[in-house]
Amino acid sequence: MDKRLAEAIIAEIWVDMTRFGQAGRLASWAGMCPWRHESAGKSRSGRSRHGDTHLQKHLAVAAMAAARTKDTYLAAQYARLVGRRGKPRAREAVGRSILVAAFHMLAGGVPYHELGGDYLNRNSPQRRARKHLNDLRALGWTITQSPHGVTCRPPEAA
């Protein structure tokens, strides 16, 4: 987030977050929530609702800039969504994430905490290792963890 985006957010929503109460209400007011209309099993338009167009434009530019950063949560979120949903919806989702982060920074007076580019990675090495160890336990193997590593013993033959 650069100075220009911060100025735009403060100019549009001000610094008092008590009037919104929750981050979702701010996102809805800004028009950064996708609209869902489903009836009788048929999905219809998924267009976003009308909102603050100036704020939406600033968030879209910030989302595209965030998508080009390296090893950040927002870039990973954009890359994950763009393949399935397309560029406009991925841009809107990242813009909404920026707006929600700004809400929490203004409401709580806390600095931004970067989650990292691997936060959304479901196939991290630690996660896969934990899954494989749990699978071995389910098959009856004995898993022993020590400071020197992990040892696995097959189930006792009957």
User: Rounded to whole angstroms, how far apart are CA atoms 152 and 158?
Assistant: 18
The number of helices, as runs of H, and strands, as runs of E, in the chain is 6, 4
Give the HSE-up count for residue 27: Cα atoms under 13 Å, Cβ half-sphere: 21
- The answer to whether 98 and 74 have CB atoms below 8 angstroms apart is yes
Q: Would you give the distance in Å from CA 11 to the centre of its chain?
A: 25
Integer CA distances (angstroms), 47 to 23, 36, 60, 65, 97, in order: 20, 8, 15, 23, 18
Confirm whether 114 is domain-assigned. Answer: no
Is there a single domain that holds both residue 100 and residue 137?
no
Q: Is the pTM of this model over 0.85?
A: no
Are residues 30 and 62 part of one domain? yes
pLDDT tens for 32-52 read 887 666 777 777 666 667 787
| 146 plus 94 within the same structural domain | no
Whether residues 77 and 126 share a domain: the answer is: no
78-88 pLDDT per residue, tens: 999 999 888 98
Same domain, 140 and 81: no
- Is 117 part of a structural domain of the chain? no
Within 10 Å of residue 64's Cβ, how many Cβ atoms? 15
Cβ atoms 95, 42 nearer than 8 A: no
Pair 72, 30 in one domain: yes
Q: What is the pLDDT of residue 44?
A: 67
Q: Which domain holds residue 32?
A: 3-108
Note whether residue 158 is domain-resident: yes
Q: Identify whether residues 76 and 36 lie together within a single domain.
A: yes
Is there a domain that residue 101 lies in?
yes
Q: Is 66 within a domain?
A: yes
Number of domains in the chain: 2
What pLDDT digit, counting tens, does each position of 50-65 carry?
Answer: 787 888 889 999 999 9
Mean pLDDT of 115-143: 85
